[in-house]
Amino acid sequence: MKTVPLSLAPPPLLKFLAPQFKGLARILLSFFPGLELELKQAGMRFSAEEYMSYLFVAFIFNLFTFTFLFYFIFVGLMQPPNINLWLVSSLGILMFTLFMQVNYPKYTIMKRAKEIDKTLLFALRNLQIRLKSGIPLYKAMKGVGKQDFGIVSQEFKKTVNEIEGGVPQVTAIERMAFRNPSKYFQRVAWQIANGLKAGASIEKSIDSITKNLAKDQLITIKNYGAKLNPLAMMYMMVAVIIPTLGVTFLIILGSFFGMGIDENVFYLIAGFLAVFQFMFMGIIKTNRPVIEL
């Protein structure tokens, strides 16, 4: 069932109410002209009008839910009641969820592009081998669609199904280029489509793109290796050297002035290190090149 992220509204309620706000959704779409393409590239089964109407219903439902929930916490239970905290908390969490919902297709596109790039090189080499062995392009694409190359295989399979359904081969490949967020996959699809139109050698075009993709991935790996050195130095400084020297300095300073160190200081340092290491792992994971070996 269709739904939107971070929505507290039950999916059946969203499905029932969303069509009632399609008129308003058309007006709101003028502020998001690229939403239709984003939804297609994200692989989400929404039209732009549907997604915007679902977002509006989710926003209204979240508005009432967060308002009453935080009112109960900060006004009903807290003594004395804190109206300012109620308003700030309600508005803050509401704006955060709305921002995440509006930008969810962009996030999905980035994630989908990484998944495509991870297996694209191997899929292209598979396609290249099939073409070199004399297999026609249609059958070569059908063969790649049957392999386990993740989203790449799914897209080739979808394109082959469109061709079998009567869509011209060039048109089906152009559609594949439009609905995919990976710049390399788009380049491959456009090269194949233009090659079919011009009668050029598709095999040579794919060979050129495959070599460029392999070089780019090698450069990405080298750049990642170069980034690890300063990141490792930062980790050693913040997580090892500074806490160790800081605690030692506090102990020495306390002995000079006859002051003890409260145990809460150590809990605070431990909490800071836990948060820092969690963030550091996120930085490493974000910068790690998504390449299948």
| DSSP string for residues in 63-122 | HHHHHHHHHIIIIIISSS--HHHHHHHHHHHHHHHHHHHHHHHHHHHHHHHHHHHHHHHH
Q: Looking at the structure, do residues 103 and 161 belong to the same domain, yes or no?
A: no
Band of residue 211 on the pLDDT scale cut at 50, 70, 90: confident
Residue 53 CA to residue 25 CA, distance in Å, equals 5
pLDDT computed for residue 171 by the predictor: 93
Give percent above pLDDT 70 in the chain.
96
Cα Rg, the chain, nearest whole Å? 27
Q: What CA–CA distance (Å, rounded) separates 280 from 275?
A: 9
pLDDT value for 170? 92
**Residue that finishes a domain, picked among 213, 238, 264:** 213
Which range of residues forms the domain containing residue 258? 220-287
User: pLDDT at position 253, please?
Assistant: 76
Q: Which two tokens stand for residue 196?
A: 């079919």
Q: What is the structure's pLDDT at 43?
A: 86
User: How much is the average pLDDT of 246-267?
Assistant: 75
pLDDT above 70 (res 260) = no
Mean confidence (pLDDT) of the chain: 85
Average pLDDT over residues 177-190: 89
Top pLDDT among 85 and 105 is at: 105
Tokens of 281: 């792992």
User: Is residue 52 located within the same domain as residue 88?
Assistant: yes
Percent of the chain, pLDDT > 90?
Answer: 22
**255 compared with 145, residue with greater pLDDT:** 145
Structure tokens at 223: 């750049």
Residues 253 and 269 in one domain: yes
pLDDT at 291 over 80: no
- How many independent structural domains does the chain possess? 3
Which residue, 179, 213, 247, sits at the end of a domain? 213
Residues 15 and 101 in one domain: yes
Q: What is the pLDDT of residue 293?
A: 54
Q: What is the CATH number of the domain that holds 175?
A: 1.20.81
